[in-house]
Chain A
Amino acid sequence: MTRNRASRTATRTAALALGAVVAAPLLAGCVPNDPASSEAGGDGPVTLSVSSTADACDVSAAEAPSGNVVFSVKNDGDEVTEFYLLAEDGLRIVSEVENIGPGLTRDLVVVAKPGSYVTACKPGMVGDGIRADFTVTDSGADTAPTGELADQVDAAAVNYVAYVKDQTEQLLTGTEDFVAAYTDGDDDTARDLYAPVRLHWERIEPVAESFGDLDPSMDLREADLEAGQEWTGWHLLEKDLWAPEPADNGGEKYTPLTTAERADYAERLLSDTQELYDRTHAAEFADTIDAAAIGNGAKGLLDEVATGKVTGEEEIWSHTDLWDFQANVDGAKVGYDGLRDVVLAKDEALAGDLDERFETLQGLLDQYQEGDGFVAYTELTPDQVKELAAAVDALSEPLSQLTAAVVL
């Protein structure tokens, strides 16, 4: 009889597991089906028509503003087709509709973030499909209030999780390239990649810090090393790539890492990055992100700026602090933007304050842009540093009220 009882338990467990696997994605995985009705006074969703034939994939526009975008995909060919919206790398599937029979139309609804994408039709369901570039421009406020504040907070969390996932993904891809160049001894390429790849890290740093072990392993500065602690991660490689003069190195001649050491540390950085990617892509991760986590994260990012970037301590060898500065501000802004509707509803003055100070700070930062990036920190005059620090402080103050305004 034990067998029967055991079987029943197994069956019940299976049923529970089934309930869990179905419910979890259902709760987290919603997109508005008919965004028009949820748009309060907005100009409605953007609907693009797509015509898929044997040898063409005509999308009615190559661009759409961020927010709800509907691709109405019509199969005008005579084979079954599929339509994909792919990330910029052309590999990750952002969304797809499969099984569109000839003569049929199926809608693909996505909440699109600003950025570059690739559209693809796959007539006959084989190969890479007929591809084209697609751009989502920043529409500013892309989620209009839809009534319940709670829904907005939930939506903010869902979007923020998506943002973190996207950033870790770009970080991973970038780190792969960086590590490849570095281990191959192609220092010029590695130096070029260093700051732009780290952007993706700096944008979501509070999240990485929430995994206690990863942050020190990946982003520890030499100055913060504690006795007996092994130094690994980005800044170790930074020092090796921008080898200091003895005068800047405590009077000692800097010994470059050997090829084997390079390979070791690079491998470690990559596996840590993969770990960060895996953890942020695990189902449990989404549970840890709520309004408070986003609000505190935004504040945390500004603190990072104040304690590291504005002082030039973060990138002491490469002097790319302004890149990190911008990335921290980006990350804080994304967090705030997600919650902005809630803030507007609860404390309009605070929202106005935050909008203005984000703008001031960004305006200051823009002055130091150079090409795709920024001038070296060492090119800033003391007065310019002071001005930046003042703007950071001015933003920090209202930002510290963000969490309370949203959660209470």
Chain B
Amino acid sequence: MFANFLIGLREGLEASLVVTILVAYLVKSGRRDLLPQIWLGIGTAVVVSLGFGALLTFGPQGLTFEAQEAIGGSLSIVAVGLITWMILWMGRTAKNMKADLHHKLDDAIAAGRWAVAVMALLAVGREGLETTLFLWAGAQATGQTVQPLVGALLGLAVAIVLALAVYRGALRLNLRSFFAWTGAFLVVVAAGVLSYGVHDLQEAGILPGLHSLAFDVSAQIPPTSWYGTVLKGVFNFSPATTWLELVVWWAYLLPVGFIFVRAAWFGPSRGRAPQPATPASLEGN
């Protein structure tokens, strides 16, 4: 029961934290009108995941393991792209707090309104397929016992409660702190998502190096412990990490973190127009 609870908690945290910040960010910036798009993204992800899970469990065709991992890994990497876009945007916004914030906010959100929906879709869909496969297996097993399913659902519920707590905490921050802190948090989360996406692709045999471990602290941080679960759920931390995962983690965290921190904390020009030196946003040219 407890083990199944932890699975639900972990998958729930993985799926909900990014969404939480996304929602908080729209609420803080007075764009509640865009919330339906988030719910649409989440709803689509849930429906698609449940449908796929049912299809793969009961339907005539299942996905090969490689395809499952390839989808999971690719979705993670696309999700990181979108989260990065949001983080960098937050970095610039935090710097320009005193300027006509709302105008800029509207601009960016208008451009990214579908990006916002897609981000919600990915944040939930990324873990959704695996979670629903697990839940359907539980549903199939309920003939024997209901407990595994109840355990997993409780875990999901606790994850949602935790995400709500994070949301309330975030709302209490002033706008500048909100952008600075949630952005920094997202940088670390995104690095973990990227690194885990790489791991999925390694398992699928698409990327090499699955067996070259940089470190293995499974003994100190068992993946089945509650703290292992929370670390995995929040930061996608894997106690047995390959070199490629580690390199990718740092290769993402250092530059993105640097750009973000410089823009959000040490921005030179509060109240003035963005400097040309501001790191290029990901829209490209």
Inter-chain contact total with CB atoms closer than 8 Å:
169
A4-B63 contact, Cβ under 8 Å, with A78-B3, A80-B6, A101-B3:
no
* A contact residues around B108 at 8 Å (CB): 3, 7
Which segment, of B32-40, B67-75, B160-168, B254-262, faces chain A? Answer: B67-75
* B contact residues around A80 at 8 Å (CB): 3-4, 6-7, 223-224
A210 contacts the other chain (CB 8 A): no
A105-B137 contact, Cβ under 8 Å, with A11-B115, A21-B74:
yes
Considering the complex, give the chain B residue whose CB is closest to the CB of A277.
B208
A32-B222 contact, Cβ under 8 Å, with A6-B283, A103-B145:
no
A3-B111 contact, Cβ under 8 Å, with A33-B60, A104-B138, A106-B137:
yes
B173 contacts the other chain (CB 8 A): no
Interface residues of A in 1-19 (CB under 8 A from B): 3-11, 14-15, 17-18
A29 touches B148 (CB 8 A): no
* B contact residues around A103 at 8 Å (CB): 4, 141, 144-145, 147-148
Number of interface residues of A (CB under 8 A): 55
The B interface, classified by DSSP as helix, strand, loop or mixed, is helix
Interface residues of A in 40-76 (CB under 8 A from B): none
A93-B62 contact, Cβ under 8 Å, with A99-B134, A104-B148, A124-B222:
no
Which segment, of B23-31, B77-85, B179-187, B263-271, faces chain A? Answer: B77-85
- Tell me the minimal C-beta distance from B157 to chain A in angstroms: 16
User: How far is it, in angstroms, between the C-alpha of A105 and the C-alpha of B148 when the chains are bound?
Assistant: 11
- Tell me the minimal C-beta distance from B248 to chain A in angstroms: 17
User: How far is it, in angstroms, between the C-alpha of A56 and the C-alpha of B1 when the chains are bound?
Assistant: 20
A29 touches B4 (CB 8 A): no
Report A117-143 CB contacts with B as 1/0, cut-off 8 Å: 000000011110000000000000000
User: How far is it, in angstroms, between the C-alpha of A165 and the C-alpha of B204 when the chains are bound?
Assistant: 13
A22 contacts the other chain (CB 8 A): yes
A126 touches B218 (CB 8 A): yes
* B contact residues around A31 at 8 Å (CB): 61-64
A223 contacts the other chain (CB 8 A): no
- Tell me the minimal C-beta distance from A396 to chain B in angstroms: 35
Report B235-273 CB contacts with A as 1/0, cut-off 8 Å: 000011000000000000000000000000000000000
Considering the complex, give the chain B residue whose CB is closest to the CB of A99.
B134
B281 touches A93 (CB 8 A): no
Report A75-111 CB contacts with B as 1/0, cut-off 8 Å: 0001110000000000111111011111111101110
* A contact residues around B3 at 8 Å (CB): 78-80, 101-102
Known: A3-B281, A15-B118, A25-B67. 8 other contacts (CB 8 A): A6-B285, A7-B112, A11-B111, A32-B62, A93-B205, A99-B7, A101-B4, A101-B134
Interface residues of B in 9-63 (CB under 8 A from A): 56-63
- Tell me the minimal C-beta distance from B111 to chain A in angstroms: 3
A37 contacts the other chain (CB 8 A): yes
B137 touches A10 (CB 8 A): no
User: How far is it, in angstroms, between the C-alpha of A9 and the C-alpha of B115 when the chains are bound?
Assistant: 10
Residue of B67, B82, B111 near A28 (CB, 8 A) is B67
B110 contacts the other chain (CB 8 A): yes
A104 touches B71 (CB 8 A): no
B227 contacts the other chain (CB 8 A): no
User: How far is it, in angstroms, between the C-alpha of A22 and the C-alpha of B65 when the chains are bound?
Assistant: 14
Report B132-155 CB contacts with A as 1/0, cut-off 8 Å: 011001101100110110011000
B284 contacts the other chain (CB 8 A): yes
A26 contacts the other chain (CB 8 A): yes
- Tell me the minimal C-beta distance from B212 to chain A in angstroms: 11
* A contact residues around B81 at 8 Å (CB): 14
Residue of A11, A14, A91, A109 near B62 (CB, 8 A) is A109
B218 touches A38 (CB 8 A): no
A239 contacts the other chain (CB 8 A): no
A268 contacts the other chain (CB 8 A): no
A93 touches B65 (CB 8 A): yes
- List the 10 shortest-distance A-B pairs measured between CB atoms, nearest first: A29-B67, A7-B111, A6-B283, A21-B74, A101-B4, A25-B67, A95-B65, A126-B218, A4-B111, A33-B62
A279 contacts the other chain (CB 8 A): no
User: How far is it, in angstroms, between the C-alpha of A170 and the C-alpha of B81 when the chains are bound?
Assistant: 36
A150 contacts the other chain (CB 8 A): no
A7 touches B283 (CB 8 A): yes
* B contact residues around A33 at 8 Å (CB): 56-62
B114 contacts the other chain (CB 8 A): yes
A34 contacts the other chain (CB 8 A): yes
Identify 13 residue pairs between A and B in the complex whose beta-carbon atoms are under 8 Å apart, listed by A's number: A8-B114, A10-B85, A22-B71, A32-B61, A33-B57, A92-B205, A99-B133, A101-B151, A102-B1, A103-B4, A106-B133, A110-B65, A126-B219
User: How far is it, in angstroms, between the C-alpha of A105 and the C-alpha of B152 when the chains are bound?
Assistant: 14
A30 contacts the other chain (CB 8 A): yes
Considering the complex, give the chain B residue whose CB is closest to the CB of A5.
B111
* A contact residues around B148 at 8 Å (CB): 101-104
A18 touches B78 (CB 8 A): yes
Considering the complex, give the chain B residue whose CB is closest to the CB of A127.
B218
Residue of A4, A6, A18, A29 near B284 (CB, 8 A) is A6
Considering the complex, give the chain A residue whose CB is closest to the CB of B8.
A101
User: How far is it, in angstroms, between the C-alpha of A31 and the C-alpha of B68 when the chains are bound?
Assistant: 11
B224 touches A25 (CB 8 A): no
Residue of B151, B218, B239, B282 near A10 (CB, 8 A) is B282
A3-B64 contact, Cβ under 8 Å, with A21-B78, A25-B71, A281-B205:
no
Most chain B C-beta atoms within 10 Å of own C-beta, residue among A6, A78, A126, A281: A126
Residue of A24, A98, A283 near B130 (CB, 8 A) is A98
- Tell me the minimal C-beta distance from A44 to chain B in angstroms: 15
* B contact residues around A98 at 8 Å (CB): 130
* B contact residues around A34 at 8 Å (CB): 60
A101-B112 contact, Cβ under 8 Å, with A18-B75, A80-B224:
no
B214 contacts the other chain (CB 8 A): no
User: How far is it, in angstroms, between the C-alpha of A295 and the C-alpha of B284 when the chains are bound?
Assistant: 47
A10 touches B63 (CB 8 A): no
B101 contacts the other chain (CB 8 A): no
Considering the complex, give the chain A residue whose CB is closest to the CB of B114.
A11
A93-B203 contact, Cβ under 8 Å, with A99-B130, A106-B137:
yes
Report B210-239 CB contacts with A as 1/0, cut-off 8 Å: 110000001100111000000000000001
Considering the complex, give the chain A residue whose CB is closest to the CB of B10.
A99
